[in-house]
Amino acid sequence: MNITIEDIENLPDDHPVRVALVGAGGLGYEAFCDRVEDSILSAIEHVEKGKGMYSKLGEDAISCMIIFALGKDGLNADHDAFRNGHCDILVKKGRFEWYGEAKLDNGPKYVLGGFRQLTDRYAPAGPTTNRGGLLVYTKQPNKLARLNGWLKEIQNEFESPITLLPVCMNTLTGRTTHTHPASGLEFRVRHFPVSMYHRPTD
């Protein structure tokens, strides 16, 4: 049985052979980045289920757990890789790169600083380097309100015009796009709030 790229592209999205080739960067940049973001969502789900155990961890420790989860999903992820500064999460395969910046939730202005690092420092925003994510670990209640708060701050304060896409209510994530000043291409950021709020009342 000889299998071509076309055969694999025609398999269902969740078929293991297709999933493996997407993660290996063989089915295009969009599919690769979508796979990275799906894997991050699974990792966040896991972290939030164990928030009682993880809520005392720092930003780097939580990021390393997420990177470990990406590795288990067959993705080549690294912590603190140098990209004109130390990028918290870099997922790389061949020419494809996806950048992740992680921040503790110290308020919208602090998160805006992370957005600036992600877009202006780490990502060159070329055709295969123009997607990333902002992960914010919050110990505050109502992560949806926290997400909306920092999205509003970014839209109001960032120098380039920001397009906000509607918040996805299935995943509680946001998306922004803006023209990257270096390349002139659209830079797309997925915004992931991670709830570490843990105050049992029993």
Partner 1 sequence: MITLGQLHNYIDRAYLHGGRDVGCCKKIAADLLASDREVYTYGDLLQSANIDSAGYYKIEDIQYAVNVLKADHVGLLHETYRYIDDDVIYDLSLEELQVAMEDGCLDLELRGYPDRDFKSKVYVMFSADRAAVSL
CA distance 77 to 90: 6
Nearest by Cα to 162 from 102, 112, 88: 112
- The distance of closest approach from Cβ of residue 93 to partner 1 in the complex, given in angstroms and rounded to an integer, is 7
Instruction: Estimate to the nearest angstrom the gap between the alpha carbon of 80 and the chain centroid.
Output: 15
Asked if residues 200 and 53 have their Cβ atoms less than 8 Å apart, the reply is no
Taking CB under 8 A as the rule, does residue 9 contact partner 1? Answer: yes
> Which of 33, 66, 88, 93 is the binder for partner 1 (CB under 8 A)?
93
Which one among 8, 41, 65, 164 touches partner 1, defined by CB under 8 A? Answer: 8
21 forms part of the interface with partner 1 (CB under 8 A): yes
Ranges within 22-41 binding partner 1 (CB under 8 A): 24-29
Q: Which residues of 96-113 are buried (b: 16+ CB within 10 A; e: fewer)?
A: bbbbbbbbbbeebeebbe
Output the smallest distance, CB 20 to partner 1, in A.
6
Q: How far is the CB of 21 from partner 1 (least distance, A)?
A: 7
- The least distance separating partner 1 from the CB of residue 28, rounded to whole angstroms, comes to 4
Rounded distance, CA 106 to CA 108, Å?
Answer: 7
The smaller minimum CB distance to partner 1, of residues 2 and 170, is found at 2
Q: Which residues pair with 88 in a beta bridge?
A: none
Bridge partner list, 168? 173
Q: Which is nearer to partner 1, 29 or 122 (CB)?
A: 29
Task: List the Cα angle 120/185/71 in 5-degree steps.
Answer: 65
Q: How far apart are CA 4 and CA 6, in angstroms?
A: 5
CB 29, min distance to partner 1, A: 6
29 vs 150, which CB is nearer to partner 1? 29
> How many Å apart are CA 24 and CA 110, to the nearest integer?
34
Q: Is 185 in the site for partner 1 (CB under 8 A)?
A: no
Among 4, 12, 159, 201, indicate the residue that binds partner 1 (CB under 8 A): 4
Binding-site ranges for partner 1 (CB under 8 A): 1-6, 8-9, 15-17, 20-21, 24-29, 74, 76, 93-96, 127-128
